[in-house]
Amino acid sequence: MKFYRLLIILVLFVACQNSENVKKDLNVETKVEIVEVPKLNLEQANRLSALPVHCINTEYPNKLGQTLGSDDDLKSPQELHPAFYGCFDWHSAVHGHWSLVKLLKEFPELNNRDEVIQKLLANISKENIAQEVLYFKGKYNTSYERTYGWAWLLKLAEELHTWNHPEAKVLEENLQPLTDLIVERYLEFLPKLNYPIRVGEHPNTAFGLSFAYDYALATENTQLQTLIENRAKEFYLDDQDCPIEWEPSGFDFLSPCLEEAALMKRVLAKDEFLSWVNDFLPELNNEDFDIEVGKVSDRTDGKLVHLDGVNFSRAWSLNYIAKDLPEFNHLQNLSNKHINYSLPSIVGDSYEGGHWLGSFAIYALNSVSN
C-alpha cells in the first residue's frame, strides 16, 4: 500500500513539473514582440500625398452608387459630383481631399504645396459644392453615403475649421452648405435608427458616430454632440464580451469591436469607460494581448485589399483607447505592428487600394504618440 501511495505522489509531482514547464513555454510563445514605432515625417508625408494628388481628379474608373430616377440622372461622375468625382467613389474623393488638407496643415513645406492648394480651391468651390448639395437633395438620394461618406465629409470640415490658414477659411466657407446638410442628415437619421449596424465595412454605426462626434466637439455643435452621446449609450452601453476573435471578416476595413470601444471612450467619463470596457473587451487589460494583422493575399482585388484598411483602422482605434490611459499603453505596440504591416505596400501599388488607403494610413499615423 505504501508503494502505491509513493507511486501516486511521484506521478502527481511529475505532472505538476510538466505543467509548470508548459506554462513557461506558453509564456515564452505568447510574449509580445516590441516593434518599431512608425512616424509621419516630411518624407513620409510627401510619399503619401502622391496618392490623393493622383486620384482626386481621376474620374475613371468610377463607382457611383447611384439610384437612377430617370434618363436625366445618366451623367458623368464629374457632372454629378464636380467637387468629389475622383478616387473611384464619392467618399474616397472626400477623404482624399481631407488627406491633402491634413498634410498641408502638418507639413507647410510639403512638396508641390502651391499646386495642392490650387487643386483644393478648384474642387471645393462654391459652385461645385452647390451642385453636390443639389445631388444630395435629389428624391432618391436621402440615404446616399450614409453614414460613411457623411462621416468623412465632417472630418474634412473639422480639419478645415481647425486649420489657421487663409485658404482654409475660404474652403471651409465654400464647403459649409454641404457640411450643414450632412449635419441635418445626422440629426434626422439617428433618432430613427433603432439598432446599430455592427459590420466591418461602410455602414458601421460606431465609425460614423465617432467622426461626427469629433466634428461636433471641434465646432461646438452641442445639439449633434448630445444626440451622439445619447444614441451611443443607448446602442452600446449594455454590450459585453465582444467576439474580437471573430475578426476580421474577409472584406473588413473596420473592426466592429474596436470602433465601438473607441466611440465609447469618446462619450463616457474615464471611470465609466474603464468599467464598460472591462465587460466589453476584457482582453485589452492583458499586457500580452495580441491579435494577428489582417493579411492581404491579393492587393489588386478591390475587396481583399480592404484588410490593409482594417490594419490602419485597428491602429487608430487602439491608440485612441490607450490615449491618456497608462494601463492601456501596451495597445500602442499592437497598433504599431498593424501599421508596419500595411504601410510599405500602399504607395506604388494598384489603384484598388491606392485610391483610398493613403487616407487610412495618414489617419493611423497621426494617432501614434510621439
Amino acid 312: pLDDT: 98
Work out the number of other CB atoms within 10 angstroms of the CB of residue 69. 11
Q: Where are the alpha helices (DSSP H) in 56-165?
A: 77-80, 90-106, 113-123, 126-136, 148-161
Looking at the predicted structure, is the pLDDT value of residue 13 above 50?
Answer: no
Local structure of residue 367 (DSSP, 8 states): T
The CA distance from 304 to 24, in Å, is 38
The Cα–Cα gap between 62 and 86 comes to 7
Confidence band for 12, pLDDT divided at 50, 70 and 90: very low
pLDDT band at residue 30, thresholds of 50, 70 and 90? low
Question: What percent of the chain shows pLDDT beyond 90?
Answer: 88
Pairwise CA distance, residues 270 & 283, whole Å: 18
- The CATH number corresponding to 35-365 among 1.10.3470, 3.90.79, 1.10.10, 1.50.10 equals 1.50.10
pLDDT of 21 above 60: no
Q: Is the pLDDT of residue 117 over 90?
A: yes
What's the pLDDT score for residue 5? Answer: 54
Q: Taking 60 as the threshold, does the pLDDT of residue 150 lie above it?
A: yes
Question: What residue segments make up the domains of the chain, in order of their start?
Answer: 35-365
pLDDT, position 19: 47
Q: At what angle do helices 113-123 and 90-106 cross, to 10 degrees?
A: 140
Query: Residue 312 in 3-state DSSP?
Result: helix
CB 60 within 8 A of CB 351: no
Q: Which residue has the higher pLDDT, 19 or 158?
A: 158
pTM listed for this prediction: 0.91
Rounded distance between C-alpha atoms, residue 157 and residue 173, angstroms: 10
Q: In whole numbers, what is the pLDDT of the chain averaged over residues?
A: 92
Residue 350's pLDDT is what? 80
Under the banding of pLDDT at 50, 70 and 90, the label for residue 14 is very low
Evaluate the omega torsion of the peptide bond into residue 203 and state whether it is cis, within 30 degrees of 0: no
What are the backbone dihedrals phi and psi of residue 136, each rounded to the nearest 5 degrees, phi first? -65, -25
Q: How far apart are CA 80 and CA 172, in angstroms?
A: 21
What's the pLDDT score for residue 294? 98
Q: For residue 327, give the C-alpha cell.
A: 494601463
pLDDT of residue 111: 94
Other Cβ atoms less than 10 A from the Cβ of 28: the count is 8
Residue 289's alpha-carbon distances to 27, 124, 156, 245, 311, in angstroms, are: 12, 44, 34, 12, 16
347 confidence band (pLDDT: 50, 70, 90): confident
pLDDT of res. 3: 46
The residue-averaged pLDDT of 158-172 equals 97
What is the mean predicted confidence (pLDDT) over 306-310? 97
Question: What pLDDT is attached to residue 353?
Answer: 82
d(CA 298, CA 301): 6
Q: Which long-range contacts (CB under 8 A, 24 or more apart) does 286-295 make?
A: 287/32, 287/330, 288/30, 288/31, 288/32, 288/330, 289/32, 289/330, 289/331, 289/334, 290/30, 290/32, 290/334, 291/244, 291/247, 291/334, 293/337, 293/338, 293/341, 293/342, 294/248, 294/252, 294/338
Higher pLDDT among residues 296 and 6, named by residue: 296
